[in-house]
Structure 1
Amino acid sequence: MITIVIASCKKDNYIVGGQLENTTTTLTTYDYLKSNRYQLFDTLLMVIDKAGLKDAINKQGITFYAPTDFSIKNYLQKKTLEAQKVNPFAQYSIDTLMKYDLGKFKDSLNAYIIPAAVKYSLLTQNGVIFNTAKTGSKAVISYEETFDPNLGYTSAVSTAPRIEYYNFIKGQLPAVVVASAIPDTVGVRVLCQTTGLTTATGQLNVLNNTHVLYFKQ
């Protein structure tokens, strides 16, 4: 495991493939996200408040894989491009999401919640299957060695660092699951850029800034 220091709030420069220096907090999951000094979750929490889902991410014993505000921005950009195929002047904004898409948000947020404490000790290189809080959906969560220098590997260490991936499953899993080999038609694989935080109410991990809300491809 490695620790990468927070340098700025740029899209690709928050925390990648690492573990927090301080892995426990007395704050609830909601309050910890709200206290983020880079305000990476302000839009997320605004929509959570509007949808009345604060208690859902603060439920005791769950693990929340939090998307950042960049994930919401990525989603809005994709929806705008889709709308502009019909109307070149169309814009899909956060106001549009809250007016027309809040029901979907309420349901889909559950795909980011595992109703159990996901600890490193439970995970494997090939991944473990978990039920999500979204009815009928599953995720494969893996804890994989990396030899990518961009994810913290260096030849100066004798043991390769490990990083966590969250793979939301949309299709039929094969009989033998290898997380890194799950095709795009079956699952959406997302790097966790921050992992292993224990809050006053549960576990908290943060998905990579390149993720698109609702696991939209």
Structure 2
Amino acid sequence: MKNRQISRYISRRGWQALLFFSLLLAIVSCKKDYIKGGSTSNADRFAGATTYEALQQMPQFDTLVQLIDAAGIQDAVNKAGTVFAPSNRSIRDYLEMRTLFLQNNVDQSKFFLLDSLNYYLKNNIQGTKDSLLMYLIADHLTPQDVTLDGTIYPTGLNNDKVLVSFEETKDGNMGYTDLISSVPRILYYAQLWDGQGDPEENKILVKTAFIKTKTGSINALDPGHILFFYGR
């Protein structure tokens, strides 16, 4: 929609609401932009990099890159059409929850640290390396591919499925306002495990969507997500 058309719907105060909406939501339009960290970025920034190389260039995935290296799945990441990427905070919260479990059930002096997780990944203890593949989808998803109700896709983890949906929202906290003419849409990733899981219970917001790379795309999961859906 051109600026002259928008001005018919929005007052001066409405422009402030629209600006907030634009900064909050990571939704790709027909323009070659995506939203990252509260500012507009060129969607082609990583077009010349593989997905693994792109993750290396984004500080919020520093720890994820370490996990990928420990598991030795760099090639799998680049072969995946779409990667749903957990943030540093997602991994930190996972380590804290694993530590709390150890201290409450095994030994109060025990800690489950990043070195512990890397060891588990390298040796695939308790299927940890395999579990990391739940964030990989073979299909290269674009905004045009994802429906309101969602589509079920198999992940790289054996017998695992996820529901990916591009849902409309009228939540004011998510950027909706009646001062704009269209309802915003938000990408969600829901773990179904073997197809029997509850998508509403295991639904995660995607904070930055459809980041293009040379080999696929990246969707940055909400930092509130805990790695491997631990505790759910």
CA–CA distance in 2 between the matches of 1:171 and 1:132?
10
1:97 aligns with 2:117: yes
* Identity in percent: 34
**In the TM superposition, what is the alpha-carbon distance from 1:173 to its structure 2 partner?**
4.3
Q: Across the two proteins, how many residue pairs are aligned to each other?
A: 194
Which residue number in structure 2 is paired with residue 18 of structure 1?
27
Inter-CA distance 64–182: structure 2 relative to 1 (3 Å threshold):
closer
The higher-RCO structure (CA 8 Å, 6+ apart) is 1
CA contact (8 A) 2:160 2:194 kept: no
Q: Which residue of 73, 79, 84 corresponds with 2:92?
A: 73
Which runs of structure 2 are paired with 1:73-152 in the superposition (5 Å)? 73-86=92-105, 87-102=107-122, 103=124, 104-152=127-175
Q: TM-score if structure 1 supplies the norm length?
A: 0.82
Q: Where does structure 1 differ by over 3 angstroms across 4 or more consecutive aligned residues?
A: 15-19, 171-174
Letter in 1 for 2:212: T
Structure with bigger gyration radius: 2
Structure 2: runs of 5 or more not aligned? 1-20, 29-33, 35-40
Letter in 1 for 2:96: Q
Superposed CA deviations along residues 161-197 of structure 1, whole A, max 9, x for unmatched, are 10000011025549xxxxxx7353xxx2111011011
Which residue number in structure 1 is paired with residue 191 of structure 2?
168
Superposed CA deviations along residues 23-67 of structure 1, whole A, max 9, x for unmatched, are 23221111111112xx111111112112211111111x6111111
CA–CA distance in 2 between the matches of 1:16 and 1:173?
30
Superposed CA deviations along residues 57-116 of structure 1, whole A, max 9, x for unmatched, are 111x61111111111111101101111112222211101111235413320121101111
Q: Which residue of 199, 207, 210 corresponds with 1:182?
A: 199
CA–CA distance in 2 between the matches of 1:146 and 1:75?
29
Question: Over the residues paired in the alignment, what is the CA RMSD in angstroms?
Answer: 2.0
Structure 1: runs of 5 or more not aligned? 5-14, 175-180
CA–CA distance in 2 between the matches of 1:194 and 1:100?
29
Letter in 2 for 1:53: I
**Richer in helix (by share):** 2
CA–CA distance in 1 between the matches of 2:221 and 2:69?
20
CA contact (8 A) 1:16 1:208 kept: no
CA contact (8 A) 2:71 2:121 kept: no
CA–CA distance in 1 between the matches of 2:162 and 2:172?
27
Helix, strand or coil at the partner of 1:121: coil
1:191 aligns with 2:205: yes
Which residue number in structure 2 is paired with residue 8 of structure 1?
none
Which residue number in structure 1 is paired with residue 82 of structure 2?
63
**In the TM superposition, what is the alpha-carbon distance from 1:150 to its structure 2 partner?**
2.6
